[in-house]
Structure 1
Amino acid sequence: MRSDYTGPERRTLLRVALGLGAATAVHLIAADPASTPSRPARTAGTPPAAAAGPPGQVRGRPSPYRLDPMTANTPPRYRPARPPVRTRPFEHLPELGHSMVLTFDDGPDPRYTPGILATLREHSVRAMFFVCGEMAEGNADLLREMADDGHVVGNHTWSHPLIPKLSRSAIRDELGRTSEVVERALGTAPLWYRAPYGAWNRNSFEIGAELGMEPMAWTVDTLDWRTPGTGTIVRRVLDGAAPGVVVLSHDAGGDRSQSVAALRRYLPRLLDSGYRITVPHRV
């Protein structure tokens, strides 16, 4: 386990770079009950309608990927390439008002993703799921369930590598293969991507832009991948809650039972505090 990148409690607030010129504008929509697609109620113990079989074992080869987040490694400034690309990812969205974005990385995992989806559905809110291609390939049913519930499905590369160590062709393969898997399952390719460990570089921004995706990082890191305890995850989310915050959690990559349980506790408290849970929407 690497620990030489960022301290466990460090948060980085990056200014949203808006120098896209004629590139796609980014807006935000509130995931309120009136605008959230509804799904038929399920009887306890009944599998999802789209499920291809019992979710007893991960389909797709999980990788032993876990490093400390590297959000503090901000990309260097450089002359914009063509097509125009951002030089920093979205990490804090101040124009949201009294709203927050919840994001979940590394899945989908049939052991934990369904529990997260169920909690989000119970409270009629949307979230973002940044999926790894090697996990998504065998779990198209969960991708479709995410989309049916109105969640944003983003690209988190194929195998969760450290992007700055890859060649341009390898980065293109990692992002391109994952976009293809998502497009086969949902009919549309992802519009958002997130670099593993928050390790961005010029090549990742350029290739992401060429594939039609915007970069999304985070503001509050729950560090749930360290399995610090459900109560600690809850506290980190509630302590970090603020307008425009993007919260990072995980629904795969290890034992995520604490993450599932924590969401059940902090989500209603955020809503009771007046926060709306929103997702970005590109037009």
Structure 2
Amino acid sequence: MGTKTAAILLTACLLLSACTAAKPESAATSNNQTQATSETSDNTDKGQGTASSPTNSSEQAGSNHGNNSTAQTTPQTGKTVADSNEATNSTATVNKTYHLDKAYNVVPNQQGAEKKVVLLTFDDGPKEAVMINKIIDILDKHKAKAIFFVNGYRVKEHPELLKLIHDRRQPIGNHSWDHIVLKNKSEAEVKKQIESVQKIVEETTGQTPVFFRPPHGAGGDVGRKVAKENGLLYMTWSVGSLDWTMKKSQPNKTDAILKNVTEQLHPGSNILMHELPWTTEALDSLLTRLEQKGYQFVDPQSIEVPAS
């Protein structure tokens, strides 16, 4: 009887010892899981959860640079103001504060609107993601918008570049399909040149352009007619940067662009530029100079367009 009791007591002691040894391992596992969850949460809050690597991809470049702010426009001046607190996919409502006169200058619709404004435009794209991103980086720095007048054949070759411009919240204009002189073409040919661009831009971005600039500033009466039928505001320009006349080897191109624009500058200037390397290099200095002269950058959305 004494032997059985001793055996039972020995077995109980062994079981108790095993249970006591298992508890620290279980607790350690639980603590490690909690710490891992906490670190993951901390990294997510600090933006460290996902690593990104540099890329030359147009689509990825657009995403990396893209919609970190939503542009709002003051109805009185049309000057854009970035508001990073708003949702990035919202669309600002902009009053139609301005119209274009017969010389394609930007003119206020009523008293009290800022007169000392300029409209920024870039023709003949889209060309290169690096250049587009640099231009838009500078525009964003100055809280400015510009119309990017695109050619259809370029969009067909690189639709991702058009999407880049759209995703970075810059207005897109129609510059015809082939960049040809339209004024002597038939109405059927002009319709094809203009409406094909409307179609491909809508297919790529979900929106159709509302601004049209004929190549070489030569659209003729038929160009005006077809533009109006498509709800497009026809325009050429009132200030030329003359960047298109410059050669790669020409020295001091930045100074030349600044001189060309500022010598012609006046309230309501509709400034023609192009997607060119030297224009991109001159842009920050140019916009700074315009601001120093008291000019503001009109939001193209605040300009009246015809009903189709």
Q: Is the TM-score greater than 0.5? A: yes
How many angstroms apart in 2 are the aligned matches of 1:35 and 1:226?
A: 38
Q: Give the partner amino acid of 1:33.
A: V
Q: Is the 8 A contact 2:116 2:294 kept in 1?
A: yes
1:5 matched residue in structure 2: none
Q: Give the partner amino acid of 1:108.
A: P
Taking only aligned residues, the RMSD between alpha carbons, in angstroms, comes to 2.6
Distance 1:259 1:177, change over 3 A: same
TM-score by length of 2: 0.61
Select the residue among 242, 245, 251 that pairs with 1:226. Answer: 245
How many angstroms apart in 1 are the aligned matches of 2:297 and 2:123?
A: 17
Query: C-alpha offsets along residues 16-69 of structure 1, whole Å, 9 cap, x if unaligned?
Result: xxxxxxxxxxx99623224699999xxxxxxxxxxxxxxxxxxxxxxxxxxxxx
1:32 matched residue in structure 2: 80
Pairwise CA distance, 1:151: 2.1
How many angstroms apart in 1 are the aligned matches of 2:239 and 2:85?
A: 27
Q: Which has the higher contact order (CA 8 A, sep 6+)?
A: 1
SS in 1 for 2:297: strand
Select the residue among 231, 256, 261 that pairs with 1:237. Answer: 261
Q: Is the 8 A contact 2:145 2:300 kept in 1?
A: no
SS in 2 for 1:94: strand
The 5 Å alignment of 1:1-283 reads: 30-34=78-82, 91-95=104-108, 97-110=115-128, 112-227=131-246, 229-251=253-275, 256-281=276-301, 282=304
Distance 1:38 1:145, change over 3 A: farther
Query: C-alpha offsets along residues 142-172 of structure 1, whole Å, 9 cap, x if unaligned?
Result: 3233233332211000010011221111111
Q: Give the partner amino acid of 1:233.
A: I
Q: Which moved more, 1:259-268 or 1:91-100?
A: 91-100
Q: Is the 8 A contact 1:155 1:175 kept in 2?
A: yes
Q: Is the 8 A contact 2:146 2:300 kept in 1?
A: no
Distance 1:263 1:39, change over 3 A: farther
How many angstroms apart in 2 are the aligned matches of 1:204 and 1:121?
A: 33
How many angstroms apart in 2 are the aligned matches of 1:206 and 1:264?
A: 37
Q: Which runs of 5+ in 2 are unaligned?
A: 1-74, 89-100, 109-113
SS in 2 for 1:157: coil
How many angstroms apart in 2 are the aligned matches of 1:186 and 1:28?
A: 29
Q: Is the 8 A contact 1:183 1:189 kept in 2?
A: yes
Query: C-alpha offsets along residues 1-28 of structure 1, whole Å, 9 cap, x if unaligned?
Result: xxxxxxxxxxxxxxxxxxxxxxxxxx99
How many angstroms apart in 2 are the aligned matches of 1:211 and 1:268?
A: 36
Q: Is the 8 A contact 1:36 1:149 kept in 2?
A: no
How many angstroms apart in 2 are the aligned matches of 1:149 and 1:31?
A: 17
Q: Give the partner amino acid of 2:289.
A: R
SS in 2 for 1:30: coil
Query: C-alpha offsets along residues 101-142 of structure 1, whole Å, 9 cap, x if unaligned?
Result: 011100011153222112112222111111111112233333
Q: Give the partner amino acid of 2:286.
A: Y
Runs of 4 or more above 6 Å deviation:
35-40
Distance 1:157 1:279, change over 3 A: same
Q: Give the partner amino acid of 1:211.
A: N
2:98 matched residue in structure 1: none
The percent identity for this pair of structures is 28
Aligned length: 206
